């Protein structure tokens, strides 16, 4: 016998009542997609998802599973028949295999979802624990703080034995919570906002505003690389590249400089809303954090929000910069985000942006020009790039 399965625990999904099966099916499907290049079989059972390992690259598979939202935790598992003798031998093998680190104490935790199995959970604890004690030396039982916990799950068709636990990404399976448009600038914050939004089961499409020749091709490639990194959490992501030069130069000419940032953000939201309707997205996600810059004060958010009826999701709104950086490093976007290529938010940046812009003044300044035609043109000329979860190493090197 050997570890031949991975047992996946679903955590929060178990609380979904009548919708639970929908979430479990979505998680099983997402796991299948993430592991499509491996010889495995995904089996969904009540409260668990089993992955049968026919592929010996279990280390790679474990690393892939750590990025799948909806997984609470998972363990390598050894499958046996629903037979006491097999279960005892399997538990001893599992414990022995876990003894890379010094093990002085253990305990057995048996569960019996299969109520037809003739031995109760407590009795099974004693029978399996006694067998392990009889066949090992210098090891004792500690039911309160054991070095190793041997878990035995007797299910309908087989018993699964695990030692050890690997923490999953948590959250909900991507695709169960609808779709949003992520405003992706290329900085540190917005990729983290996208990651946290996906963690709640939401699929993202990204929108990036670029202003050639003031922003260069490398800045655009940097954003593509950020999307590429985010695809490891969700599979395919569509990136919408919006030409924004004409809009920015017009704002620069027609709007007082202290309101230019406010009007620019309002125009970005109008364009994002139009693209969201085209893509059947239900909300817009931004990387805004309260009080970080002039456009992210509560007064600014209130004035900017006026132009859209779509919900604005701001996962970072209460986080400080160090907390955001910590997440960015964890998910692997930080090193790309700090590459020094200007985005459209940093060009034409006035030194005197209003931190308390008023809605009535923003509306008044927008009457200085007919911006509707520019909005429609930007939407019509938007380029859509589909980015799948496969890293092009040459593209990454070119960024540097």
Take residue 90 and report the two structure tokens written for it. Answer: 């399997």
Dihedral sign from CA coordinates of 242, 245, 250, 253 = positive
- The residue among 264, 192, 261, 188 whose CA lies nearest residue 222 is 188
312 and 305 in contact (C-beta within 8 Å)? Answer: yes
Note down pLDDT in tens along the chain; length 400 residues.
688 999 999 888 777 788 888 899 999 999 999 998 999 999 988 788 999 998 778 899 999 999 999 999 999 999 999 999 999 999 999 998 875 677 899 999 999 999 999 999 999 999 999 999 999 988 999 999 999 999 999 999 999 999 989 999 999 999 999 999 999 998 999 999 999 999 999 999 999 999 988 888 888 999 999 999 999 998 899 999 999 999 999 999 999 999 999 999 999 999 999 999 999 999 999 999 988 877 789 999 999 999 999 999 999 999 999 999 999 999 999 999 998 877 766 667 777 888 899 999 999 999 999 999 999 999 999 999 999 886 544 444 443 3
- Single pTM value for the model: 0.88
Coil, strand or helix: which one is 305? Answer: helix
């Amino acid at each position: 016998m050997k570890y031949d399965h991975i047992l996946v625990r679903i955590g929060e999904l178990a609380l979904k009542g009548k919708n639970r099966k929908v979430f479990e099916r979505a998680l099983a499907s997402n796991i299948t997609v993430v592991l499509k290049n491996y010889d495995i079989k995904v089996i969904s059972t009540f409260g668990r998802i089993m992955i049968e390992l026919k592929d010996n690259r279990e280390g790679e598979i474990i690393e892939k599973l750590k990025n799948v939202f909806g997984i609470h935790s998972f363990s390598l598992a050894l499958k046996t028949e629903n037979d006491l003798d097999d279960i005892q031998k399997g538990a001893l093998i599992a414990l022995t295999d876990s003894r890379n680190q010094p093990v002085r104490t253990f305990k057995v935790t048996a569960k019996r979802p299969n109520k037809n199995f003739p031995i109760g959970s407590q009795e099974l604890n004693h029978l399996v624990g006694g067998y392990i004690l009889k066949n090992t030396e210098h090891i004792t039982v500690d039911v309160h703080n054991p070095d190793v916990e041997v878990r035995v799950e007797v299910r309908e068709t087989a018993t699964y034995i695990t030692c050890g636990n690997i923490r999953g990404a948590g959250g909900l399976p991507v695709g169960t919570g609808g779709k949003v448009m992520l405003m992706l600038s290329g900085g540190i914050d917005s990729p983290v906002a996208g990651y946290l939004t996906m963690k709640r089961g939401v699929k993202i499409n990204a929108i990036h505003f670029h202003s050639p020749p003031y922003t260069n091709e490398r800045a655009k490639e940097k954003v593509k690389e950020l999307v590429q990194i985010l695809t490891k959490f969700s599979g395919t992501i569509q990136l919408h590249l919006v030409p924004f030069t004409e809009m920015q130069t017009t704002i620069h000419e027609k709007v007082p400089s202290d309101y230019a940032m406010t009007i620019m953000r309002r125009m970005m939201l109008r364009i994002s809303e139009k693209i969201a309707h085209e893509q059947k997205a239900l909300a817009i996600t931004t990387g805004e954090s309260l009080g970080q810059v002039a456009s992210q004060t509560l007064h600014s958010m209130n004035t900017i929000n006026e132009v859209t009826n779509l919900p604005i999701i701001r996962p970072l709104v209460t986080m400080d910069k160090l907390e955001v950086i910590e997440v960015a490093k964890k998910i692997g976007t930080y090193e790309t985000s700090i590459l020094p290529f200007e985005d459209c938010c940093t060009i034409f940046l006035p030194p005197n942006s209003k931190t308390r812009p008023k809605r009535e003044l923003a509306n008044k300044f927008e009457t200085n020009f007919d911006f509707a035609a520019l909005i429609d043109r930007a939407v019509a000329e938007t380029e859509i790039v589909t980015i799948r979860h496969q890293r092009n190493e040459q593209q990454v090197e070119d960024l540097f």
